[in-house]
Structure 1
Amino acid sequence: MSEDCRGTRYLALPGKLGEGLKCLARWAPEFYRPGMSMQNKAFERHGAFSWCELMTTDVQAAKQFYGSLFGWQMEVKNVTGTPYTVVSADGVGVGGIMAMPPDMSGIPPHWGVYVTVDDVDATAKRVEELGGSVCLPPTDIPTVGRICVFRDPQGAPMTVITYLKACE
């Protein structure tokens, strides 16, 4: 993590990586198959929002609220000893809900987004050329793909991801 991002507790990435991304690595093959019939194929389309993730202090209340609001289906996956709720719309995994890791105490619940890119490394380089800052350099997530977390020039964080093509 770069020094300029370390002070922002929203990006307490050791907790997020240690919990959320380990979960993502375990269940991603269950909902994504290259070429699957999915509106806009967000897992393959450069620039598409492909995943979202809620970190919250009350998972049950969040599941009840969002399930009632949007009609989402929820399935709890217990991976690495950490429950992770996969959120589906019309049977397609679109996001997840998880408890805030202990090292993120004091941070309000929040949604994070993942945008699909063709090349995470090239995107990280371009972020810096355009005045943004890389907070988590390109990193491989086993069985899922490669990610990078950055901030735009105004400070807004985002995660980019290139999904593995071998998840078939």
Structure 2
Amino acid sequence: MTNPVVHFEIPVENMDRAVRFYEAVFGYRLRRETVDGYAMAFFPRADGGAGASGALAQGDVYKPAKTGPILYFDVDDIDATLARATALGATILYPKKDIGEAGFVAEIEDSEGNRIALSAPRD
């Protein structure tokens, strides 16, 4: 059995701002490319690893939104991640919630107006 999602794209209006936000909040190094005429910034990818990876995407077909699918980013420390995000202007849309054995979740609005979620294990 494999994970059904293999790639995602997060719409952005301002690629420089979005890259700064995601790199600072999550500590990733994003790799920029142009694909089929669209600006992209790719998250790290571990071939053969669990889960999916994706990219920030900018162009006429990419419109940031708080509606639609919600992507969950795994983080080690949800409180620290929320602190970094809000320091960069993110809005907390769904405060940290204990979901039992699965740990904790929260949702924020990123620098571009997208709803994204955070998931952290129990300490």
Shorter-chain TM-score category?
Answer: 0.3 to 0.5
Structure 1 length-normalised TM: 0.34
- Tell me which protein shows more helix as a share of its residues: 1
TM score, norm. by length of structure 2: 0.45
Structure whose alpha-carbon radius of gyration is higher:
1
